[in-house]
Chain A
Amino acid sequence: MSDGWNEIDTDLLVIGGGVAGSLAAIPALEAGLKVVICEKGRLLDHCGSVGCGVDHYLTVMDSGPEWDTPEFLIKHVPGLTDGIVDMAVTSKVIHQMPRILKKIESFGVDFKDPRIGDYYRLRSFGLPGTYHINFDGTDFKKLIGQQVRRGRATVLMRTMGVQLLIDDNRAYGALAFNFRTGEWFAIRAKAVMLAAGEVNRLSKNASGLAFDSWHFPYNTGDAHAMGYRAGAKLANMEFIESTLTPKGFSAQGLNALVSLGAYFVNKSGERFMFKYDEKGENARRAVLADAVVNEFLLGNGPIYVDLRHLPEDELDHMEATLQVDRYTMPAFYDQKKLNFREDLVEISVSEFSIRRSGVYFRGSGLAVDTNGETSVEGLFAAGDCATVSGGIAGAAVLGHIAGEGAVKRIHTSPRSLPEIDREAAGAIRAEAMGCLGRPDGMPWRELEDQTRQTVTDYVGVRRNDKGLRLALATLHALAEKEPTLQADDLHGLMRVYESKSIRLCAELMATTSLTRKETRTRSAHRRLDYPETDDRNWRKFIIVERGADGPAVSTLTTDRPLADAFGRAPERGEADVGT
């Protein structure tokens, strides 16, 4: 094709080299296939959400007791997800958890606690067993990255995937560019894996700084946007995920505090969680966030976390591990001059993201079947951009399943790769590069700021018909301005693409929120005009895809897998997989 394009042909193209993308690459490399990974980061060993380390891993281990079996956890999933969950895919993920745990251990990840020489397992977020392994995951991503590099994948770093190549509902590659060098890539592949994470920078938080976010602010729904434009179906996009953070710094750490036994108290010093859930502070994340939202609205703020009652050794352990999830947390407390042994820690509700609405296994994003394949043939998805997700474990397990699914797809599709439409590809590149020579255009920051304000005001934790329609009108008007977006440099061009993905995902969220005429999972989807949960009419998935004039919405009852909406003939033997 040339014309300044770097052309690459491969078997599997992975977009996003985080946890899910890396685990997806591994089975393909083991099968001797060629793998190309496009990743915005510079180092595979440190890129993505977990570049600074992790501290908990959710898994069943089949260690003996009944609660530790896949069957037991599977039985509880409908309750954990308020009935909106793809059980076919989830069951397969849970069944494969012990196998993938062992596989990751074989890469050198040590899940055991050196203090006890065994796995240290904790109960949190309303799960019906001590499923979280608490471990020092400082090198988790490094060891996974090393495994991928040992397999000799071609890794295109600082390279952003921007557009999928689709022919007759079949994915055959993508266009990408390097935001340091300005090189453009046209990559043809027999299968494509979307693993670009969740949607952040979507709403405002206390600090008002867009990149101060609980989750990785450089994951901006690019997988959702690329998949949507390619015709793939998405589900659960109406649900919000938010959490509780130290006020001013949107950071993790809630999990650790809650499992150690922290109390939440309001301005009157009242411990209020038991008003909302019999599990108190051990309720699901969605319930915790909802209770705090409610206390604020009742005028009971400020809200604090109280750790002062905890035994000294627990506090010592907490202090020693404070930096594992977020390296800078000790520096934050330090600069704030706050001592949690003596002071209450003021908290806030975080910004929202589109991820998995505070519950395990119900992901918001690209609908997949039990092979991790989306409704577009040859297009796979895993991790926080797919409809079944659950932290690093969910990303690792579904990533591996999807990698195996892609290998199968590559082996069973003899079709040769279509030629790339030069004109169409050239037009996409020209449009992108046009942003650089447009000094009077609209800065990407403005598109993003307006999207964030709209989501905060009308698509957040208090939704109603009028507000959602107002939000959609604003988001549509913003879309009209996208052709005038401006960037100062190649780095800014990356941000232009990100801000467009964020706006599109906000539109999909507002559209599907308008459809779901009930309240479910508390403030994850609270409709003030439909305050009750309505199982009779709404125990359904809301599926959204590209229609003739914008997003088209349909529903599917949750006793069926999302793949039933794909219209793809099931494989032989598929019906009994993991159900």
Chain B
Amino acid sequence: MSAPESATHNPIDIDPGKCVRCDFCDWICPGDLIYHEDGNKEKLPVVMYPDECWYCGLCQSICPADAITIIFPEEMIHNKTDVVSLLGKVVK
């Protein structure tokens, strides 16, 4: 994985006590981020590419065991960006 160092925030928390290892989150994630070996009842699903998350919550909405919580990163919750920096540079 070549994810940059700063992108280690995990967008979803899977509760190992609740998860029934059903594969649904792996199937529904539109970004192909969640991997779980089909039918494996031992292992938990893994978020392989955390920095590619859309924060759509489809995984949470489909989870039959209510095992998933979405966790927004700091830069989304308490955003400090100056919006003017997104509005372009004028080359004279």
A interacts with B: yes
B8 in contact (CB, < 8 A): no
The answer to whether B52 touches A212 (Cβ under 8 A) is no
The answer to whether A460 touches B91 (Cβ under 8 A) is no
The answer to whether A349 touches B57 (Cβ under 8 A) is no
- List of A residues within 8 angstroms of B78 by Cβ: 248, 336
Q: Which of A46, A210, A462 contacts B87 (CB 8 A)?
A: A462
Q: Measured between alpha carbons, how far is A348 from B84 in the docked complex, in Å?
A: 10
| Nearest CB of A to B22, in Å | 14
The answer to whether A301 touches B91 (Cβ under 8 A) is no
| Nearest CB of A to B37, in Å | 12
The answer to whether A46 touches B28 (Cβ under 8 A) is yes
The answer to whether A248 touches B75 (Cβ under 8 A) is yes
- List of B residues within 8 angstroms of A104 by Cβ: none
- List of A residues within 8 angstroms of B27 by Cβ: 42-43
The answer to whether B83 touches A42 (Cβ under 8 A) is no
| Nearest CB of B to A69, in Å | 37
- List of A residues within 8 angstroms of B29 by Cβ: 42
A326 in contact (CB, < 8 A): yes
Q: Which of A48, A216, A302, A491 contacts B32 (CB 8 A)?
A: A491
- List of A residues within 8 angstroms of B57 by Cβ: 52, 326-328, 331
B-contact bits for A212-223, CB 8 A (1 contact / 0 none): 110011100000
Q: Measured between alpha carbons, how far is A460 from B85 in the docked complex, in Å?
A: 11
Within 8 A of A (CB), among B1-35: 1-2, 4, 26-32
A-contact bits for B62-92, CB 8 A (1 contact / 0 none): 1000000011110111110101101111111
| Nearest CB of B to A252, in Å | 11
Q: Which of B49, B61, B86 contacts A204 (CB 8 A)?
A: B86
Given A43-B28, A296-B84, A335-B77, A327 contacting B56 (CB threshold 8 A): yes
What range describes how many residues of B lie at the interface?
Answer: 35 or more
A208 in contact (CB, < 8 A): yes
Q: Please choose the segment from A22-30, A162-170, A463-471, A556-564 that sits at the chain B interface, where 4 or more of its residues have CB less than 8 A away.
A: A463-471
B-contact bits for A443-482, CB 8 A (1 contact / 0 none): 1010000000000111011111011001000000000000
Q: Measured between alpha carbons, how far is A466 from B70 in the docked complex, in Å?
A: 43
A297 in contact (CB, < 8 A): yes
Given A209-B76, A461-B88, A467-B91, A51 contacting B58 (CB threshold 8 A): yes
The answer to whether B87 touches A207 (Cβ under 8 A) is no
A205 in contact (CB, < 8 A): yes
- List of B residues within 8 angstroms of A48 by Cβ: 30
B44 in contact (CB, < 8 A): no
The answer to whether A205 touches B90 (Cβ under 8 A) is no
A524 in contact (CB, < 8 A): no
A158 in contact (CB, < 8 A): yes
Q: Measured between alpha carbons, how far is A326 from B2 in the docked complex, in Å?
A: 29
Residue of B with least CB distance to A348 = B83
| Nearest CB of A to B89, in Å | 5
Q: Measured between alpha carbons, how far is A328 from B71 in the docked complex, in Å?
A: 10
A326, A457, A494, A528 — most chain B CB neighbours (10 Å): A457
The answer to whether A247 touches B86 (Cβ under 8 A) is no
The answer to whether A462 touches B90 (Cβ under 8 A) is yes
- List of B residues within 8 angstroms of A528 by Cβ: 90
B-contact bits for A242-256, CB 8 A (1 contact / 0 none): 000001110100000
| Nearest CB of B to A230, in Å | 26
Q: Which of A203, A208, A297, A456 contacts B75 (CB 8 A)?
A: A208
| Nearest CB of B to A520, in Å | 17
The answer to whether A249 touches B76 (Cβ under 8 A) is yes
The answer to whether B58 touches A467 (Cβ under 8 A) is no
Q: Measured between alpha carbons, how far is A41 from B27 in the docked complex, in Å?
A: 8
The answer to whether B1 touches A462 (Cβ under 8 A) is no
A340 in contact (CB, < 8 A): no
The answer to whether B2 touches A209 (Cβ under 8 A) is no
- List of B residues within 8 angstroms of A305 by Cβ: none
Q: Which of B31, B51, B83, B92 contacts A206 (CB 8 A)?
A: B83
The answer to whether A457 touches B89 (Cβ under 8 A) is yes
A433 in contact (CB, < 8 A): no
Given A205-B86, A460-B87, A248 contacting B31 (CB threshold 8 A): no
Given A296-B87, A464-B91, A466-B92, A209 contacting B51 (CB threshold 8 A): yes
- List of B residues within 8 angstroms of A47 by Cβ: 30
Q: Which of A203, A208, A458 contacts B91 (CB 8 A)?
A: A458
- List of B residues within 8 angstroms of A41 by Cβ: 30
A7 in contact (CB, < 8 A): no
- List of A residues within 8 angstroms of B62 by Cβ: 46
Q: Measured between alpha carbons, how far is A207 from B60 in the docked complex, in Å?
A: 22
A277 in contact (CB, < 8 A): no
The answer to whether A216 touches B54 (Cβ under 8 A) is yes
Given A212-B54, A458-B89, A328 contacting B70 (CB threshold 8 A): yes
| Nearest CB of A to B32, in Å | 6
Given A445-B4, A491-B49, A467 contacting B89 (CB threshold 8 A): yes
- List of B residues within 8 angstroms of A203 by Cβ: 86
B48 in contact (CB, < 8 A): yes
| In the A-B complex, the 10 residue pairs with the closest CB atoms | A248-B79, A328-B57, A327-B57, A462-B88, A466-B91, A460-B88, A467-B91, A248-B76, A206-B81, A42-B27
5 contacts between A and B (CB under 8 A): A216-B30, A249-B72, A327-B60, A462-B87, A495-B52
Given contacts A46-B28, A331-B70, 15 further A-B contacts (CB under 8 A): A42-B27, A46-B62, A51-B30, A206-B86, A209-B75, A209-B76, A303-B83, A326-B57, A327-B57, A327-B58, A332-B55, A349-B83, A456-B86, A460-B88, A467-B89
Using CB atoms and an 8 Å cutoff, list the residues of chain B in contact with chain A: 1-2, 4, 26-32, 48-49, 51-58, 60-62, 70-73, 75-79, 81, 83-84, 86-92
Using CB atoms and an 8 Å cutoff, list the residues of chain A in contact with chain B: 40-43, 46-48, 51-52, 158, 179-180, 203-213, 216-218, 247-249, 251, 293, 296-297, 301-303, 326-328, 331-332, 335-336, 348-349, 351, 443, 445, 456-458, 460-464, 466-467, 470, 486, 488, 491-492, 494-495, 528
